[in-house]
Structure 1
Amino acid sequence: MITYDGLFIGGTWAEPSDPNLLDILSPHDESLVGRAAQARPADVDRAVAAARAAFDAGTWPNMPPAERIAVLRRLNALREARAEHIAAVITAENGSAGWFTRAGQPSLSRQAAAYLKAAEDLAWEETLAPTDPAATVRSLVRREPIGVVAAVIPWNSPFSAALAKIIPALLAGNTVVLKVSPENSLSMGLLADLLAECGLPAGTISVLPADRETSEHLVSHPGVDKIAFTGSTGAGRRIASIAGQQLKRVSLELGGKSAAIVLPDADLAKFTAGLAFSCLLNNGEACIAQTRILAPRSRYEEVVGAVKQVVETLKVGDPQDPDTFVGPMIRRDQQQRVRDYIETGIKEGARLVTGGPQVPAGLERGYYVTPTVFADVDNAMRIAQEEIFGPVLVVIAYEDEDDAVRIANDSEYGLSGGVWSADEEHALAVARRIRTGTVTINGAPVGFDGPFGGFKASGIGREYGFAGLNTYLEYKTVTL
């Protein structure tokens, strides 16, 4: 069992204001995995004060970028050395299947590498040549840190979400208070241990597991200059309103209800081979999951049958088992929420192809949901419009290509999506018409050099690479 009885505040482990520890239970069998201290508003005040002092009077913001890059490179190396242990802890506390948490470790290295390259290539200060040759004024443009960043992340993929924010924020010269979900207290404790080793100056970063009320205290804090949030669209709207009232910089990576368009010429074998990874990764608890499958009317039953076959072959069970593809939901209330959506789909008149609201046989203990597929779904149904965040897929028929694009865009969200076709150029033409931040062609994985983020209710701003680094910078112009 893992225990973290302190809070990581300003780079050191400190005594929490509340001595009571939270029990972290396994989503698989509800056994005790560990205990951890939880932050309260008084702890947030201490963390923001440390970050404020480190930014206003410390060395980090004024350190040469090459030195900051070296520190973050050490952080990545430390994480790589403990990758197996980190993956195991996330699986234990989150219920994410072991294959997913292990496969995610090299992705974290690629994510970090893209940020580090962006920082190395960035012109931190440059003189612009005047457009008018006769001008006597030159403009010196500097890229400077914003200040104290409140980074707030969800529970579904903790290391990825955390590093997507703290690496660019720190590379830019900001100081950071990272607020993590209580469910991730153990893995984020491991992250804090790495941050303590990598060579950051005192006060530069804090890691606080805390509830929603304490999170609101952090994002509302007058000592915070920027909010970086990943989570639900509802919470994002609340954070955006706080940021607007206080004129804080804000970036939001929110929910999704992404569509996978199967064009008439698509190779169905290739589509089904990539289906689970595109649509059901991380137990369906993924904002980028392509949970709306759009199939041509001419091949509709063929696609429905292929999806059914794939979903029924996925092993559901103990996330520690190497053969398991779908593990449990994170909490009992999330399990019930997904089961309620399945009941809603039945009541709405969708055809239940496989699965259902019943708990998988033999998995009554823990927070399991039976992977479910609905057919004959109208895009106006709740199961097609609302983010379920579980292993539930809907298959929607379309008449022609224009109809497919219309249905894909008929959503308040715009985070991800996919197009499947034997003709990659044709698929690309369709992808250009989809109003979403990321589109994959034939199941290609998302890279980390290009921007990642959403249109519409899926967020504001971008992460990864240069665009993600730029989110944490202010521009200053000095005229000479």
Structure 2
Amino acid sequence: MTHQPDENAVLQTVSPADNSIVVTQPLASQEDIIATLERANISQSHWRQTPLSQRKAYCTKAIDALLTHKEMIACEISWMMGRPIRYSNSELRGVEERARYMISICDEALEPITLNEKPGFTRYIKHEPLGTVFVIAPWNYPYLTAINSIIPALLAGNSVILKHSSQTPLCSERLQQAFDEAGLPKGVFQHLFLNHTDTEQLIASEQIQHVVFTGSVSGGRMVEKAAAGHFHNIGLELGGKDPAYIRADADLDHAVATVIDGALFNGGQSCCGIERVYVDATVHDEFVNRAKEEIHAYQLGSPLEYETTLGPLVRTAAADFVRAHIQQAIEMGATAHINESDFPASKPGTPYLAPQLLTDVTHQMRVMTEETFGPVVAVQKVHSDHEAVALMNDSEFGLTASIFTRDTKQAIKLGEQLDVGTFFVNRCDYLDPALAWAGVKHSGRGCALSKLGFETLTRPKSFHIKHPQE
């Protein structure tokens, strides 16, 4: 590492709520980075020898400590990234669910694999920790995305260095406080505030054994490029353009409520949020009419007001990107069903953006091919299961897909044809920690959560023992 940041370089977080600066933090110096790596490597050599029962106890105490600050944390989330305060508490509920589940299954998941008895030999395979894991977390679900890797990495005997988004830096501090309150040995979990250059150089460090990145496709390419030639393990959760298919036999009340929530929750800023909806022609118009009613029930406004159900996007540039998707679709023949005037808080030049429902869309429009990451529901009419599956697969992404129908057997048959990591029937936009979370194509590679999630954070070590003849 040769780059030395300006001594006065700082990280500033601007709130989308009112454009105020809510956090100012100095960036890590070169000396900070080197010291952090050394502590991580030294502490990991001791941590890996700590009994799993103790590692579980530390992680449990840390989650308990984090939850004691949930009201403060919810407020900070709303200030930093704009999620309505009425929903911000739900993030820590998800953190608790995922963390406690991974703690509950780690004994079985990390148990050595024993082989059939072979006379004169003992053979087994251990799950060895990788070493130091570098976690790069995003702003949209700042605690959930981080905890997916942090808790299982620590349980598996790794040390962790967290680099959080510059939009949500307080999350790394709160996690650090929680682990410190739990009494975790110094150096096992650490965080750094880094610029892009130092992040890339840390990825390339020979003192890092695994990198977990959640973010954009371009960010994933940066990680792969920085790690090239260093033979790190890499886990990438990247973008999504997640589709839903509404079959003719679907329960429309349930489908509309679920899909609109899946598309608009968190302002549509979710990698597994619904961005494309394919609706059978026989129920298309009814679905659209009900969807309009559902969308008009949302209230756009300050994320700090409890009445708000749709907050601002993370920044004005993000809102402008979504506006461009909508405008291009309309210019190419799409029909917009929501008047921006129905949402008075929506204003050009700000991150406050009205939700939109589009029909008459095609795959020649960016809104159906690029990740929009905003409060837009784009609906396309289809005439058969075959057409729906072909359109759902017509994407460079493959994170999740959903089918709404009363015919579960047929849904499963269709789901087996979809190129995605998670397939839902009659639900969407949810991570069950007992299931593997993975993407295909440009949605990433690797796996988080479930028993399989521990495999990406460990390496197999085979023991082949021949006993002396008596």
**Smaller-chain TM-score range?**
over 0.9
Aligned length: 459
Distance 1:249 1:269, change over 3 A: same
- Structure 1 residue 162, shift from structure 2 partner: 1.2
Counterpart residue identity of residue 62, structure 1: Q
Q: Out of 405, 415, 433, which is 1:448 matched to? A: 433
* Aligned counterpart, 2:105: 118
Partner of 2:332: 348
The reply on whether 1:252 has 2:254 as its aligned counterpart is no
- 2:34 counterpart (45, 61, 75): 45
Deviation for aligned residue 1:369: 1.3
Name 1:178's counterpart in structure 2: 162
Partner of 1:72: 59
Aligned residue in 2 for 1:7:
none
Cα separation, 1, equivalents of 2:99 and 2:270: 20
> Equivalent residue for 2:288?
304
Which of residues 76, 83, 90 in structure 2 aligns to 1:89?
Answer: 76
What SS class does the counterpart of residue 395 from structure 2 fall into? coil
Q: Which residue of 2 aligns with 1:101?
A: 88
| Closer, same or farther: CA 186–31 of 1 in aligned 2, 3 Å | same
Unaligned 5+ residue runs, structure 2?
Answer: 466-470
Structure 1, 78-87 or 29-38: larger mean CA deviation = 29-38
Q: TM-score, normalised by structure 2?
A: 0.92
Aligned mate of 1:285, from 244, 259, 269: 269
1:359, distance to aligned residue in structure 2 (A): 11
Give the stretch that moved more between structures: 203-212 or 281-290: 203-212
User: For residues 202 and 355 of structure 1, what CA distance do their matches in structure 2 show?
Assistant: 55
Deviations 1:334-392 (A, max 9, x none): 12222222222223322222256x99534548511111121111123211010011111
CA RMSD of aligned residues (A): 2.1
2:442 match: secondary structure: helix
Task: Decide whether the 8 Å contact of 2:276 with 2:377 is kept in 1.
Answer: yes
User: Letter of the aligned partner of 2:344 in structure 1?
Assistant: A
Matched, 1:459 2:448: no
- The 5 Å alignment of 1:20-419 reads 21-56=10-45, 59-130=46-117, 136-355=120-339, 360-364=343-347, 366-419=350-403
After the TM superposition, which of the residue ranges 318-327 and 246-255 deviates more from structure 2? 318-327
8 Å Cα contact 1:266-1:421 kept in structure 2: yes
Matched-pair contact (CA < 8 Å) for 2:128–2:458: yes
TM-score normalised to structure 1 length: 0.90
Aligned to 1:474: 459
Per-residue deviation, 1:19: 4.9
2: distance between equivalents of 1:362 and 1:231?
Answer: 28
- With over 3 angstroms needed to count, the CA separation of the structure-2 counterparts of 1:382 and 1:40, relative to structure 1, is farther
3-state SS of the aligned residue for 2:244? strand
SS of 1:330's equivalent in the other structure is coil
| Displacement after TM superposition at 1:457 (Å) | 1.0
Question: Does the 8 Å CA contact 1:279/1:290 hold for their aligned counterparts?
Answer: yes
Counterpart amino acid of 2:48?
P
Q: Could you tell me whether the CA contact under 8 Å between 1:181 and 1:210 is conserved in 2?
A: no
Distance 1:442 1:429 in 2: 15
Q: Deviations over 1:395-422 (max 9, x none)?
A: 0111200111111111111101211112
Q: Secondary structure at the match of 1:339?
A: helix
Aligned counterparts of 1:82 and 1:411: Cα–Cα separation in 2 = 41
Identity fraction in percent? 28
Aligned to 1:5: none
Instruction: Look up the equivalent residue of 2:54 and give its one-letter code.
Output: E
Task: Using the TM superposition, give the Cα deviation of residue 18 of structure 1 relative to its aligned residue in structure 2, in angstroms.
Answer: 3.7
Task: Quote the residue 2:468 is aligned against.
Answer: none
User: Take 2:114 and 2:6, find their aligned partners in 1: how far apart are those partners?
Assistant: 49
Say if 1:27 and 1:367, in contact at 8 Å, map to a contact too.
yes
Amino acid in structure 2 at the alignment position of 1:114: Y
Q: Structure 1's 123 and 360: CA in aligned 2 closer, same or farther, altered over 3 A?
A: closer
1:464 corresponds to which letter in structure 2?
L
- The answer to whether the 8 Å contact 1:100/1:281 transfers is no
8 A contact 2:398–2:439 mirrored in 1? yes
| Shift, 1:305, TM fit | 2.0
Q: Distance in 2 between matches of 1:355 and 1:473?
A: 52
Name the CA distance, whole Å, in 1 between partners of 2:86 and 2:97.
Answer: 18
Contact 1:152 1:178 in 2 (8 A): yes
CA contact (8 A) 2:163 2:172 kept: no
Is the contact made by 1:360 and 1:368 (CA closer than 8 Å) also made in structure 2? Answer: no
| Aligned-pair CA distance for 1:270 | 1.1
Partner Cα distance (2:43, 2:395) in 1: 43
Q: What are the Cα deviations for residues 6-31 of structure 1, in whole angstroms up to 9, with x where unaligned? A: xxxxxxxxxx9845543332211112
Cα distance between partner residues in 2 of 1:173 and 1:466: 15
Q: What secondary structure is seen at the aligned counterpart in 2 of 1:183?
A: coil
Distance in 2 between residues matched to 1:88 and 1:283, nearest whole Å? 17
Equivalent AA in structure 1 for residue 85 of structure 2: G
Q: What letter matches 1:454 in structure 2?
A: G
Deviates more, 1:405-414 or 1:238-247: 238-247
Q: Distance in 1 between matches of 2:9 and 2:180?
A: 24
Matched-pair contact (CA < 8 Å) for 2:217–2:239: yes
Deviation of 1:159 (Å): 0.6
Q: What secondary structure is seen at the aligned counterpart in 2 of 1:182?
A: coil
| Residues 189-225 of structure 1: per-residue CA shift (max 9 Å, x gap) | 2222112211211211211233322221221122111
Q: CA deviation at 1:452?
A: 0.7
Question: CA 1:127/1:22 → structure 2, altered by over 3 Å: closer, same or farther?
Answer: closer
